Amino acid sequence: MRIRVVGAGTMGRGIAQWAVVAGHTVELADARAASVGEAVAFVRSMLERAAQKGRMSRAEVDRALAGLLALDSPHAVPDGDDAPDLVVEAVMEDLEVKAELFTGLERVLPATTVFATNTSSLSVTRIGARLADPGRLAGLHFFNPVPLMKLVEVVPGAATRTGVTARLTELVETSGHRAVTVADTPGFLVNHAGRGLVTEAFALLEESVAAPASLDRIARDVLGLRMGPFELMDLTGLDVTASVMETVWTGFRHADRLRPSYLTANRVAAGLHGRKTGRGFYAYGQGEAGPDAPEPGPAGGDPARDVAVTGDAAASLATVAAPSDTSLVLVPTWGTSVAAAIADGGLPAERTLGLDPLCLESPRRVLAVTPATEASAVRDAVAVLARDGAAVTVVRDTAGSPAQRLLASLVNVATGIVERGIAAPDDIDVAVTLGLGYPRGPLAWADTVGAARMLALLRALHAETGDPRYRPTLWLTQRARLGLPLITPMAPLPE
């Protein structure tokens, strides 16, 4: 296939590298002529490095570079039969700029050339609406760095022809990446699914449940995420994250479960964007440890009192069968607060602490304290939980726990995506694992916990907080009631 890539910046050069390695001929163009030469040199250096590391042969590198052609203009008129089969646009994220580019290309390229926009946030339908033939355009959303991020969102607009979608999907799949078809909605699939983690992390921060570093440690060690939400936002840039949060929330008419935080505006205005400005939720630069700062260890020593545990989730930690007048009481909570457990069970408020059952098989224990908890009880509880070498994070009491709330939000947002028909269930899990690096897709993750248990968690969070962001989706509710996996598709309807 002959592909014209317009835009020689980070995304454009990445797309060009991916395409030539897959055996396609790539015409690379940019409004700034010097950018094309720089991009060609960059692709050459990346392929040479691949050859040095043994990932490509010399012949493969030479063949790929021979297929990389520099154009003088994005609107170059093809010579004879050398018209591109596809144009992939990777210019600035501005609807007017993209629409003007495609209307100009429509005048010089044949009707058989398919157009694709790499937009990450703009409406594919609105871009295509400027064309005489909007059916030839679709979204082809790559992720950075393109050669390593093996996912591409194929986004048909409202007028895109079915054959165009199928053709782009085949191109992606035969060129080494995984294609997922996504409806033309705000945030498409991956950016939409990613709101579950960051919006809930901000909600926890708003409530002063724990500091960003503590919440990041919980996300990594208890949920198994490669990066916590705050270090992730520091990496991508809070200005970018805040913009995406607002776009998705506004685009879905202020849906409660996508609600952004009031905390972002001031942090963005203050330039606390993360790594690129030297300071975000962490400080960066010479002498600064950033997210890698060492964690203070728990106080040593044996607990000065016995430990009783309510329920079976953490029974192995108990040293006595029932609470005495002096013993600590650990309460495993699921969607409810320690305060509620104390009130409902008549437990001693000064000696009762919460324990997240999600953390029992992880290298980190999460201990929740209420305003009534004695300082000595906290020290003794930390000593109990650290006996097997586990790290211990102390958080303030909240409905559920930080890990439970993050997981509940991930699952609720993902089931909202599939409920709206934005993407197929299989594609959601694939896109989230490939595009966001989560240890498993949110639907499979919920099934691992148990659909009924996830439903109980969200209902408890909703009841305790009154916040509609925790209202369970119908998709989750139905499948939990029927005993079906969350990946079960919708029932087919007769023609």
Catalytic residue among 191, 261, 327, 409: 191
* Annotation says 141 is catalytic: yes
Task: Give backbone dihedrals phi and psi of 198, rounded to 5 degrees, phi first.
Answer: -75, -35
Catalytic residue among 141, 177, 273, 462: 141
* Annotation says 120 is catalytic: yes
* Annotation says 273 is catalytic: no
Q: Is 219 exposed, middle or buried (0-12, 13-18, 19+ CB in 10 A)?
A: buried
Catalytic residue among 27, 89, 106, 153: 153
Q: For residue 460, how far is the Cα from the chain centroid?
A: 25
Length of the chain measured in residues: 495
Smallest CA-to-CA distance from 341 within 371, 375, 310 is with 310
Three-state secondary structure of the chain: CEEEEECCCHHHHHHHHHHHHCCCEEEEECCCHHHHHHHHHHHHHHHHHHHHCCCCCHHHHHHHHHCEEECCCCCCCCCCCCCCCEEEECCCCCHHHHHHHHHHHHHHCCCCCEEEECCCCCCHHHHHCCCCCHHHEEEEEECCCCCCCCEEEEEECCCCCHHHHHHHHHHHHHCCCEEEECCCCCCCCHHHHCHHHHHHHHHHHHCCCCCHHHHHHHHHHCCCCCCCHHHHHHHHCHHHHHHHHHHHHHHCCCCHHHCCCCHHHHHHHCCCCEHHHCECCCECCCCCCHHHCCCCCCCCCCCCCCEEECCCCCHHHCCCCCCCCCCEEEEECCCCCHHHHHHHHCCCHHHEEEECHHHCCCCEEEEEECCCCCHHHHHHHHHHHCCCCCEEEEEECCCCCHHHHHHHHHHHHHHHHHHCCCCCHHHHHHHHHHHHCCCCCHHHHHHHHCHHHHHHHHHHHHHHHCCHHHCCCHHHHHHHHHCCCCCCCCCCCCC
Query: Which residues 6+ apart lie within 8 Å of 226 measured at CB?
Result: 220, 437
Q: How far is it, in rounded angstroms, from Cα 319 to Cα 337?
A: 24
Catalytic residue among 89, 106, 120, 214: 120
Positions annotated as catalytic residues are 120, 141, 153, 191
